[in-house]
Amino acid sequence: MRPFTPPDPKGMRDYFDVYERHEPQMNEHLMAVCSRIPSLAQVIKAMPKEQLEAQRKAGLQTLRAGCVDGNWGPLLEQQKVQGAMYANMNIPFGDWYELISAFEKVMIPHLVTAYAKEPERLSRSLTALSDYIDQGMGFIAEEYLKVKERIINQQAEAIQELSTPVLQVGERLLLIPLIGVLDTHRARSLTESLLRAVRDYRAKVVVIDITGVAAVDSKVANHLFQTVSAAKLMGAQSIITGLSAEVANSLVVLGVDVNRLNAVGDLQGGLEEANRILAGRGANAHTDPPAP
Amino acid sequence: MPIPILQLRDTLIVTIQSELTDAELSQLRQDIAARIGKRAVRGLVIDVSALDVLDSFASRTLVGIAKVSKLRGAHSVIVGIQPDVAYAMVQLGLTLEGTDTALDLDEGMELLEQRKQARRGS
């Protein structure tokens, strides 16, 4: 974002003179416009009359500071705060544009009437006004996006944490229920948290339940293999449960080596098998000896 | 410096403390093969928990050691592969096919014990 360059001071001053003269009607008109835009109407309704009035006066003061005294700092600060506020209140950015264009529609005729006999002044004040609005909108938009981005990042982190829970369901037995789409990023974090959990809980058997995984393609299958192999390197066996008919079908169609996965129909069966392995007599326990 | 090979009853214990060169790994394989023959060794545990990387040569040598010791009559277990190492290994397609792995030395000893009983039972 380029730094703020103050608009033409003379033009701004002329604009402000006209604006101040018509300020009461302008304000009334804008309030009427706001009440027709649902998101903004809600905000205004929520504010008491005195607060609106105070805000209006303060706004005029900061505008005067910028236009007349050339002190733009407070105004820019105010715009940043506004941008952040709209983002936090979930006001669509388009609504704000609607308000601005309503403002311009009324403001420009006022300027034209005031400076009709002085074309140069008129053009200067119009240029300054549009420069001011463009830059102001830029500032508000930037702040708006910043806040939105922060919200999105927070949510992504929350989802990330939720996405791969590792549960201890018994002595040396872990359960990982997988739900949703297993993409590369998630598969990686699944593998990492699984391996860490194997070490921390000294797990011997891990049950991975994929009932909630809608589709399995060769990439996902490959991820599962990798996870299973990595767990095995750490001395833990994995059992995959909850393969739906479609998933099983697509695995076979993909030509996946099914023997590499220790698959059990449902979660209950998987836990039973896990307990058998832990007791040292698992049917598919390839690293465990047959029962003596 | 040769890697120390400890013997605990009928089991050999090898702890790899630091990154080994290819030559040292080959030497280790020969040393172990010789030691297994000398006394009645029935088991071998190789602890790699101090390593933060296991490349293809190292894992091939470990598989080789497991096979050699099998031929010499000892069952071997590789223990202590760290999470990051395990993940990196499967990314490279190194899965130590045909060898037993366990979480740590304790687990490895238990696994060997189970194997021994199974052999006696059958």
pLDDT digits (tens, 9 = 90+) for B16-48: 988 888 999 999 999 998 888 887 888 999 999
Question: Domains in chain A, ordered, with CATH?
Answer: 9-158 (1.10.490.10), 167-278 (3.30.750.24)
Mean pLDDT of the region A104-126: 88
* The one-letter amino acid at A283: A
Nearest to B12, CA basis, from B47, B37, B43: B43
Task: Name the 3-class secondary structure at B47.
Answer: strand
User: Is residue B28 in some structural domain?
Assistant: yes
pLDDT tens for each residue of A279-291: 875 544 444 443 3
Provide the pLDDT for residue A291: 39
User: Is residue B114 in some structural domain?
Assistant: no
Provide the pLDDT for residue A281: 58
Mean pLDDT of the region B66-83: 91
Provide the pLDDT for residue A284: 44
Is 90 exceeded by the pLDDT of residue B115? no
Spatial contact of A33 and A96, defined as CB atoms under 8 Å apart: no
pTM, full prediction: 0.62
Is 70 exceeded by the pLDDT of residue A124? yes
With a pLDDT cut of 90, the percent of chain A lying above it is 16
Q: Is A80 on the interface with B (CB under 8 A)?
A: no
User: Is residue B122 in some structural domain?
Assistant: no
Q: Which letter does DSSP use for residue A260 in this model?
A: G
Is 60 exceeded by the pLDDT of residue A209? yes
Is 90 exceeded by the pLDDT of residue A63? no
Provide the pLDDT for residue A285: 44
- How distant is the alpha carbon of residue A129 from its chain centre? 34
Nearest to A86, CA basis, from A23, A4, A151: A151
User: Is residue B119 in some structural domain?
Assistant: no
Nearest CA in chain A to B82: A234
User: Is residue B94 in some structural domain?
Assistant: yes
The shortest C-alpha distance from A218 to chain B (Å) reads 15
With a pLDDT cut of 70, the percent of chain A lying above it is 94
User: Is residue B79 in some structural domain?
Assistant: yes
Is 50 exceeded by the pLDDT of residue A111? yes
CA distance readout (Å), A242 to A141, A213, B19, B98, B106: 47, 9, 42, 28, 33
Question: Which residues of chain A have a CB within 8 Å of the CB of B85?
Answer: 233
Provide the pLDDT for residue A283: 45
SS3 letters across A180-212: CCCCHHHHHHHHHHHHHHHHHHCCCEEEEEEEE
User: Is residue B102 in some structural domain?
Assistant: yes
Provide the pLDDT for residue A1: 60
Higher-pLDDT residue of A37 and A159 is A37
User: How many distinct structural domains can be found in chain B?
Assistant: 1
Is 50 exceeded by the pLDDT of residue A255? yes
Mean pLDDT of the region B66-87: 91
Residue with tokens 């009334």: A28
User: Is residue B13 in some structural domain?
Assistant: yes
Provide the pLDDT for residue A289: 42
Provide the pLDDT for residue B62: 92
The tally of CA atoms less than 13 A away on the side-chain side of residue A73 is: 1
Provide the pLDDT for residue A268: 92
Q: Is A231 on the interface with B (CB under 8 A)?
A: yes
* CATH number of the domain bearing residue B73: 3.30.750.24
Is 50 exceeded by the pLDDT of residue B1? yes
Nearest to A99, CA basis, from A57, A58, A136: A136
Provide the token pair at A117.
Answer: 């006999």
The shortest C-alpha distance from B63 to chain A (Å) reads 12
Question: Which residues of chain A have a CB within 8 Å of the CB of B79?
Answer: 235
ipTM of the prediction greater than 0.90, yes or no: no
Parent domain of B67:
5-109
* The one-letter amino acid at B5: I
Pairing of strands A167-170, A173-179: antiparallel
* The one-letter amino acid at A76: L
Cα separation of B58 and B63, whole Å? 9
Provide the pLDDT for residue A292: 38
Question: Which residues of chain B have a CB within 8 Å of the CB of A196?
Answer: 83
Pairing of strands B43-47, B75-79: parallel
Cα separation of B12 and B42, whole Å? 8
Q: Which letter does DSSP use for residue A259 in this model?
A: G
Is 90 exceeded by the pLDDT of residue A96? no
Question: Which residues of chain B have a CB within 8 Å of the CB of A277?
Answer: none
pLDDT band at A200 (very low <50, low <70, confident <90, very high): very high
Residue with tokens 């027709």: A36
Pairing of strands B5-8, B11-15: antiparallel
Length of chain A measured in residues:
292
Provide the pLDDT for residue A287: 46
The shortest C-alpha distance from A163 to chain B (Å) reads 19
Provide the pLDDT for residue B77: 95
